[in-house]
A and B are shown apart, each in its own frame.
Chain A
Amino acid sequence: MKNPPFIYHRPESLAEALALLAEFGDDAKILAGGQSLLPVMALRLGRPDHVVDIGRIPELLTLDAGPSGTTIGALVRHAEAERSAAIATHAPLVAAAAPHIGHRAIRTRGTLVGSVAHADPAAEMPAVCLAVGATMVAASVGGTRLIDAADFHEGYLTTALEPNEILTEIRLPAWPGDAGGAVVEISRRHADYALVGLACIIEVGDGSITGAALAFFGADSTPVRVADAEAVLVGRPPAESAFAAAAEIVSARLDPPSDIHGTANYRKHIAGVLTRRGLAEAAATIGVTA
């Protein structure tokens, strides 16, 4: 299981990286943390002719979390986000996802943006982006393009990025004052990719749910939100009965795959279970006990 040969590039600046992609884009893969790319290469399932290592580009190290929003650059590692007090305060859904992401050694190297660009349907970060309504910033020699999270993930391991584009940062909107978030998942073993997972947000005002986001991962070829289930929550008290109503809709709406780790019926069922558990946990973070 040795890597196939490739031409290695280590640009020192973003401009240099973009020029390389302009030239080689169709036959190139970006290397940041490598935790998704390297296993693929070791198994020789992916054989890019060019590997563009962006690991030394200083512009990509940005981590800026504050009351007006959060910007996460392409080289921010999961471990860094996990430790960041600012992320915990201003991007609590990112903080909630961090401990679920692989094991400590993976988090040392893997990057949040890399996870989003890799687009594994069972990964946490793409669903977090979808739940908060993040904006992806794609750069190329032609300039910068902003892509809504809802439009970013197109299919299994496929995103809206063009071959000559790098996802340089993710921008998360300001975290609403009255919102609680949670990331819950069911996996076969501790820290495995989720069979189904949920990144959810619940906003409560005057004893009623004023907004909700339910973004499921592992339930389809991309992360998916269930709008009907979110809608049924609005206006109701943040209690078990509301959560159960949402759960029922979720189980009915989702069309998950069946594989050797879980049947489709199983995934539908636990998506409902996670809805109840996730919403309860999210509510608890803002002091609401269901």
Chain B
Amino acid sequence: MSTEQVNVTINGLSHSLDVEARRTLADVIREDVGLTGTHLGCEHGVCGACTILLDGQPARACLMLAVQADGAEITTIEGLADGDEMHPVQRAMKEAMAFQCAFCAPGFLMSTVALLEENPNPSAEEIRKELSGNLCRCTGYQSIVAGVETAVRLLSSTGTAGVNQ
């Protein structure tokens, strides 16, 4: 099986990978790099559980071939915390008790980080609209929206939502 070389930075670390072209970025992150925090909920780009940041922008890792990410900087959920210290968005979701089974959480967290970088003070309606690309089956979303609002509050006192690389 022929492979392509993919050079990619994930959570600040450089990786040089040899992958079959047909493999998705999601599968390569999970299997070759061992970062299983990015989840597969549907594998056809609808549920958003696989959302990562690609050069700072949210993208569905199941709808990218790994080879397309050659040269890119990727952030996954494992890259949000600073060592043992949770990112403000993670702290906010914990404080708000946003999730239940939390299988969808990685996608929501990355979408939220992206949202708050673009718009640090979104209305509840804007939050729901921006997060409508992430499906949750457990919560009915209200606690997640509360989590984003908590994150807004935490970030307004500490700075931007940006991810430190």
A residues contacting B by CB (< 8 A) are 1-8, 10, 31, 34-35, 38-39, 41-43, 51, 53, 55, 79, 102-106, 108-109, 189-191
Closest to B48 in A: A105
B21 near A8 with CB under 8 A, answer yes
B132 near A42 with CB under 8 A, answer no
B22 near A42 with CB under 8 A, answer no
Q: Complex formed: what's the CA distance from A1 to B57 in Å?
A: 25
Q: Complex formed: what's the CA distance from A45 to B29 in Å?
A: 25
Q: Which residues of A contact B60 (CB under 8 A)?
A: 105-106, 109
Q: Complex formed: what's the CA distance from A94 to B112 in Å?
A: 27
A38 near B45 with CB under 8 A, answer yes
Q: Which residues of B contact A41 (CB under 8 A)?
A: 22
Q: Complex formed: what's the CA distance from A69 to B135 in Å?
A: 39
Q: Which residues of B contact A106 (CB under 8 A)?
A: 45, 60, 63, 133
What are some 30 contacts across the A-B interface (CB < 8 A)? Answer: A1-B43, A1-B44, A3-B22, A3-B23, A3-B24, A4-B22, A8-B4, A8-B21, A10-B4, A31-B65, A34-B68, A39-B63, A42-B43, A42-B44, A42-B62, A53-B68, A79-B57, A102-B133, A103-B132, A104-B114, A104-B115, A104-B133, A105-B60, A106-B63, A108-B58, A108-B59, A109-B54, A109-B60, A109-B63, A191-B132
Q: Mark B114-137, 1 if CB is under 8 A from A, else 0.
A: 110000000000000110110000
Known: A10-B67, A38-B64; 4 extra A-B contacts, CB below 8 A, are A51-B21, A105-B51, A109-B54, A191-B133
Q: Which residues of A contact B22 (CB under 8 A)?
A: 2-6, 8, 41
Tally inter-chain residue pairs, CB-CB below 8 A.
Answer: 87
Choose from B4, B21, B24, B67 the contact partner of A38 (Cβ within 8 Å).
B24
Choose from B51, B54, B129 the contact partner of A190 (Cβ within 8 Å).
B129
